[in-house]
Amino acid sequence: MSDMILHTDNLYKSFKKQPAVDQVSLAVPRNSVYGLLGPNGAGKSTTLKMIAGMLRPDSGRIVYQGHDWARKDLSEIGVLIEAPPLYENLTARENLKVRTLALGLPESRIAETLAVVDLAHTGKKRAGQFSMGMKQRLGIAIALLNRPKLLILDEPTNGLDPIGIQELRELIRSFPQQGITVILSSHILSEVEQVVDQIGIIAGGRLGYQGAAPQGAELEALFMQVAAANRRAGEASASAY
């Protein structure tokens, strides 16, 4: 897997003896956009939180850049999971200033990163006055401050209007050309198929498909097939408790 920036081997996590992620083995190609697809509650966020160091796996391996994942690898990983972590009474620049001070990063990264996400023009406007799309872009800016090699985005288009979705889609597609690999989770197939290079489909905590992304009706049919098969498997497993 020399061309993979990250892979997991039989990743497993349970809560109260119920598997949330069950033997998941991902393979994420370098400088690509990898889409982790699945219905709500499928195990996508739990998987990403383990990769981001927010949860500890019960078993299995996470291999980053050819070695077992370690906390020091977080210096090369940017994360936006759930709501953007913003100080709403601060401007975009001030939000990034707080993070550069906390992380010991040069102040020059602020202007560079705001330009990347097209927020350099926001001036004294506070983050609490931003649109949902602007807040999402500011959250991504925070994740980009440390110049990550791997960027994890969990349901980044949630709550966005069509214009915000289009802007975010273009931004995400630009990252591989900058040497940034993206893992993008979503349950909205029509949005994901326009930006991803590879996909994994997870349902009931199990990875049911991994590979190239078919388009349109073929992707929807594959998604429904995986979701149905793993729902039945999950119900059978739950009945054993």
pLDDT tens series, the chain, 241 aa: 458 999 999 999 999 889 999 999 999 999 999 999 998 888 999 999 999 999 999 999 999 999 999 999 999 999 998 888 899 999 999 999 999 998 889 999 999 999 989 899 999 999 999 988 899 899 999 999 999 999 999 988 877 888 888 888 888 999 999 999 999 998 888 878 889 999 999 999 999 999 998 888 889 999 999 888 876 555 544 444 3
Give every CB contact of residue 129 below 8 A, 6+ residues apart in sequence.
none
One-letter amino acid at 166 equals: Q
- Evaluate if pTM is beyond 0.85: yes
- Relative to beta strand 18-24, strand 27-29 is unpaired
Give every CB contact of residue 27 below 8 A, 6+ residues apart in sequence.
1, 4, 7, 210
Q: What is the pLDDT of residue 158?
A: 79
Which residues lie across from 35 on neighbouring strands?
Answer: 184, 199
Backbone angles phi, psi at 128, to 5 degrees: -65, -15
**Collapsed DSSP state (helix, strand, coil) of residue 152:** strand
What CATH topology corresponds to 4-15+38-196? Rossmann fold (3.40.50)
Cβ atoms of residues 219 and 189 within 8 Å:
yes
Cβ atoms of residues 77 and 150 within 8 Å:
yes
Cα(207)–Cα(211) distance, integer angstroms:
11
Q: What is the pLDDT of residue 240?
A: 43
Structure tokens given for 66? 């050819």
Cα(176)–Cα(169) distance, integer angstroms:
13
Using only C-alpha atoms, what is the Rg of the chain? 18
Tell me 176's DSSP state. Answer: G
